[in-house]
Amino acid sequence: MIMKQDYSKQRDIVDKICQDVVLPRMVKVRQVFDKSHLEPEEIPGLVFQHLSQDKFAGQIHENDRIAIAVGSRGITNMALIAKSVVEFVKSKKAIPFIFPSMGSHGGATAEGQRALLAGYGVTEEYCGCPILSTMETVQIGELESGMPVFMDKNAHDADGIILTGRIKAHTAFRAPHESGLMKMSVIGMGKQQGAETVHESGFENMGKLMPKVAKVVLGYANVICGLGIIENAYDQTYKLEALTKEEIWTKEPELLVEAKNKMGRILFDEIDELVVDEIGKDISGDGMDPNVTGRFACHNSASGGIEVKRIVVLDLTEKTHGNFNGLGVADVTTKRCFDKMDADETYPNGVTSTVLDVVKVPIVTRRDETAIKLGLKTCNGTDKSNPYIVRIRNTKDLEEIYISEAMLKEAEKNPDIQILGEPEEWAFDDQGNLF
């Protein structure tokens, strides 16, 4: 745990410093994105349809032990998708099991990774098969440079592997393959040991290094297929696509482009302050997706999102289990958020990725109101009487957001933004908090 300290006096001083800051009235608006998606009841049939193709089904034989990889991200319908894969494997009279394919997440422990899956509903009871969680790996090869390549031992010992993972823009680098099936095979299945080895060279080299490691993994492991998942801007399952391990090389980059086109975003180019109600590993690998916020820990390797001067984070999600990865790129946070932080849950992720900025602690204030005022007060070159402020719940929930009154004219010109109400004051309670 983070060592807690009493900053009461300091916070009183910050409250006084910010007391003359006037926050603008806010307006609720709706951002409109493509709503095409799959209904949950369609998913089992689609999984069977994809996996029944002979190029996949023909690789599964009676009594084969089939390892099904599930990652650490909060993916909509993930438990249902995993269960559907399990049921397909059983229909082939093979023996399925699920294993966590999530590098160092879950505190880099077998118990922590199992708990992460359970938090997403991926349990033995629901999915109908064992969940085998270990941090033990097997070295399966090495690169020309001598760098070793590792693989989860349970997956290594299985007769076949099915990867299940979301394809999306990565939070720290740009390449033909970013977050997706290739990354799961290299970093997720590599567990903490493999993830640490791959991250050693830094994210600026990840786009080149990951395919080299994948060549060893996919050349060695019996990966039957990868079931790629794409979500739309409303956190709904938009598409499922099964790929052979050869097609991961050729088709995943096309699916990545499609996924980037479907993702949610803030429909403004530049703002002064972004207020984020909650961050967490269930929201993004970086707690809050930098592809939305524009604030990248590895700014030399990736870019995108909005231009923002100050980011204020108010809380952590329950499902992040105290993991505050990503909080370090914010400028201000709250005591409520600070009190939920768990270093043991967080630091393995930062150390393994070698990106330490994301696990630093920003300025901590006693109240939400002070945090937001402090963010505005320290915005340089801003018209403080007409600031551009956006408030979002999190970076996955971007349909209904709040914008400051000064942004109304720009919003009214955008056909993808609907004005839902009149300008109103911030709804702070008598303690100066929003919730």
Residue range 2-47, pLDDT digits in tens: 555 665 555 578 999 999 999 999 999 999 999 999 999 999 999 9
Q: What is the pLDDT at residue 370?
A: 97
Q: What is the pLDDT at residue 80?
A: 98
191 and 50, same structural domain?
A: yes
List, for residues 402-411, the tens digit of each pLDDT value.
Answer: 999 999 999 9
Q: What is the pLDDT at residue 200?
A: 84
List, for residues 391-429, the tens digit of each pLDDT value.
Answer: 999 999 999 999 999 999 999 999 999 999 999 999 999
The answer to whether residues 326 and 288 touch, using CB atoms and an 8 Å cutoff, is: yes
Percent of the chain with pLDDT over 90: 83
315 and 227, same structural domain?
A: no
Rounded mean pLDDT of 319-347? 94
For strands 26-31 and 400-404, give the pairing: antiparallel
Highest mean pLDDT among 52-66, 204-218, 293-307 belongs to 52-66
112 and 27, same structural domain?
A: no
Domain boundary among 232, 262, 292: 262
Convert 7-21 to b/e letters by CB count within 10 Å (16 or more is b): eeeebeebbeebeeb
Distance CA 120, CA 113 (A): 11
**CB proximity list for 118: less than 8 A, separation 6 or greater:** none
Rounded mean pLDDT of 337-357? 90
Q: What is the pLDDT at residue 171?
A: 85
Rounded mean pLDDT of 290-304? 83
The answer to whether residues 230 and 242 touch, using CB atoms and an 8 Å cutoff, is: no
315 and 220, same structural domain?
A: no
Q: Is residue 332 domain-resident?
A: yes
List, for residues 87-127, the tens digit of each pLDDT value.
Answer: 999 999 999 999 999 998 888 899 999 999 999 999 999 99
Residue 199, pLDDT above cutoff 90:
no
List, for residues 67-86, the tens digit of each pLDDT value.
Answer: 999 998 889 999 999 999 99
Domain boundary among 214, 242, 262: 262
For strands 160-166 and 223-231, give the pairing: parallel
Q: What is the pLDDT at residue 8?
A: 54
Whichever domain contains 171, its CATH number is: 3.40.50.11440
Q: What is the pLDDT at residue 10?
A: 58
Indicate the helix (H) or strand (E) that contains 22.
Answer: none
**What is the span of the domain harbouring residue 327?**
8-33+265-419
311 and 242, same structural domain?
A: no
Rounded mean pLDDT of 240-250? 97
Q: What is the pLDDT at residue 30?
A: 98
Q: What string of DSSP letters covers 258-288?
A: HHHHHS---S-SEEEEEEES-B-TTT-TTSS
Percent of the chain with pLDDT over 70: 97
246 and 310, same structural domain?
A: no
List, for residues 124-181, the tens digit of each pLDDT value.
Answer: 999 999 999 999 999 999 999 999 999 999 999 999 999 999 999 998 889 999 999 9
Residue 305, pLDDT above cutoff 90:
no
Q: How many domains does the chain have?
A: 2
Percent helix, strand, coil in the chain (nearest 5)? 35, 20, 40
Q: Is residue 433 domain-resident?
A: no
For strands 332-334 and 223-231, give the pairing: unpaired
Residue 304, pLDDT above cutoff 90:
no
222 and 295, same structural domain?
A: no
Q: What is the pLDDT at residue 2?
A: 59
Number of Cβ within 10 Å of residue 269's Cβ equals: 10
The answer to whether residues 162 and 148 touch, using CB atoms and an 8 Å cutoff, is: no
Q: Is residue 429 domain-resident?
A: no
Q: Is residue 157 domain-resident?
A: yes
